[in-house]
Amino acid sequence: MYDIDAITLDNGLRCYLVNNGSDALELRAAFKAGKLYEDRDERQKFHTIEHMLLNKTRKMNSTELIRSFEKIGAYLNGKTGMEEMYIEINVHKDHIKDALDLLSEMIFNYRFTDKTLNAEKSIVINEILSDYSSLEGIIWMNYINTVLDNFDPSKEELIRGIKAFTLDDIKRSYEGILAKDSLYLLVVGNIDKDIKSYINGLFSKYELRDHSNIRIIDKIDKKIKQIDIDIGPSFEEYALYYNFLVNEQDLKDRAANMILRDILNYILFYNLRVKKGITYTPSCEYERNSLLSLIELQIQVLPKNFNRAKKALENIIDNLSRYIDNEIFEVYKNGLINRMKRDMTDSSYLADIFIDNYRYVEDNKITDLDMIDIIKDIELSDIKNIVENYIYTDKAGKLFLLNSSKNLKQ
């Protein structure tokens, strides 16, 4: 059991304490912010803000901040996703109060300057350029456009938008999410009883606005389509990418989709690599956020194997139900359960589970993060239902990354 101890501080800040008994604690200050909260011409704004929060505070410059974390042996990082932005600290329980002090300093005593903004804009732009120079980055940057029509701007538009950010833009956007309905604090690990009162004394002295000034994008056309992209002569492999919109109304849907993801990884490996001898790099993922849930299949192959792999993969997709029997289902259902038993002792993994499921926590539909009992209730018929309703080529968003200089016939 991983019960969620939810408390609201005197200033309205929501805090969640999850005790998994681990002395390696995970602390996160998380915001409802990310790509789904950004207009098309301001993509990467919250990513830039995340970078700036990690840079300096009113009391500490960059060097002093880094050394403060090094001194207590803590790991500091930040992440901005589709609908969340957070600062995370991984630290031994002996230094949890030091880490909480540093986290509150970064979140509330932030120091944004023109110099820092210009430096972080350059870093974010370089990350984008790096993404667009790798096969994985090209796939990531384009995959969403196979499902959400015209969602992401081009590389040139992205860079132009980032360069246009002003310090006032950044300050106004960050102050807008310092709100009771956006910011929350998460602590996972072996949490001592006195930590509640320490958190209240430390964080409740800061004022939060009642409501965030940003809202999630809700006017997006979900259009399944096909995209062919010329990846240029520098790449030796082609990529075939298929995504499928699937249902996720509750945690049972999520558990079933996770099992199907693992089954698909096995089926791809066995039927493409083992039986047909197609050398490839496989991937099957399950992506989800408030707007959509996707089962994604991706393989990378040498050009000479492209047509063969494409035909074989589409045959598997359209006949998937016959590949899944009870024996395979039980193997991967039990495998997921046992992996979760192992992984949920890791405070960082458990924090990821919390943030992934936060909208259910917020709606009071989940008070315990242990999904194992939910997974145990999944039956083979649940998996077959997903396959028969969502997984076939006519419902796929397709992304083919090819090298036109190879003059490959489609």
**pLDDT tens digits, residue range 63-75?**
999 999 999 999 9
Q: State which H helix or E strand residue 159 sits in.
A: helix 155-163
Side-chain half-sphere exposure of 202, counting CA atoms within 13 A? 21
**What's the mean per-residue pLDDT of the chain?**
89
Q: State the pLDDT at residue 410.
A: 46
Residue range 228-277, pLDDT digits in tens: 888 777 777 888 889 898 998 888 999 999 999 999 999 988 888 777 77
pLDDT of 285 strictly over 90: no
Place of tokens 């932030």: 110
Element (H, E) at 226: strand 226-230
- Say if CB 174 and CB 208 are below 8 A apart: no
DSSP 3-state of 228: strand
pLDDT score at 192: 93
Q: Would you call 300 exposed, middle or buried from its count of C-beta atoms within 10 A (0-12, 13-18, 19+)?
A: buried
Q: Measured between alpha carbons, how far is 349 from 28 in angstroms, rounded to an integer?
A: 12
**Of 49-58, 282-291, 387-396, which range is least confident?**
282-291
What tens digit of pLDDT does each residue of 28-43 get? Answer: 999 999 988 998 889 9
DSSP string, 260-299: HHHHHHHHHIIIIIITT---EEEEEEEEE-SS-EEEEEEE
Angle at 133 between CA 131 and CA 134, to 5 degrees: 75
Q: Between 280 and 335, whose confidence is greater?
A: 335
Residue 408, pLDDT > 60, answer no
pLDDT in tens, 184-223: 999 999 999 999 999 999 999 999 999 999 988 766 666 6
Q: Name, of 282-291, 344-353, 377-386, the range with top average pLDDT.
A: 377-386
Walk me through the domains of the chain, giving residue ranges and CATH numbers. 4-203 (3.30.830.10), 226-406 (3.30.830.10)
* pLDDT (tens digit per residue) in 137-190: 777 777 777 767 667 788 899 999 999 999 999 999 999 999 999 999 999 999
Strand residue runs (E) in 93-223: 184-188
Chain position carrying tokens 């139900």: 321
The residue to which tokens 């079933």 are assigned: 256
Which pair of structure tokens corresponds to residue 310? 């494409």
Q: Strands, E, within 257-409: which ranges?
A: 280-288, 293-301, 396-402
Query: In the 8-state DSSP scheme, what is residue 3?
Result: B
What DSSP designation does 153 have? P
Would you state the structure tokens that stand for residue 119, as one six-digit string?
Answer: 């430096």
Average pLDDT over residues 92-106: 97
pTM: 0.90
Distance CA 80, CA 324 (A): 36
Find the mean pLDDT for residues 350-376. Answer: 87
For 303-319, how does the pLDDT look when each residue is reduced to its tens digit (9 = 90+)? 888 888 899 899 999 99
In the chain, pLDDT over 90 holds for what percent of residues?
Answer: 59
Instruction: Using the structure block, give the residue that is written with the tokens 């089954």.
Output: 263
Mean pLDDT of 83-97: 97
Q: How many residues does the chain have?
A: 410
* Per-residue pLDDT, 13: 98
Would the pLDDT of 280 be above 70?
A: no
Contact, 183 vs 16, CB < 8 A? no
Percent of the chain with pLDDT over 70: 94
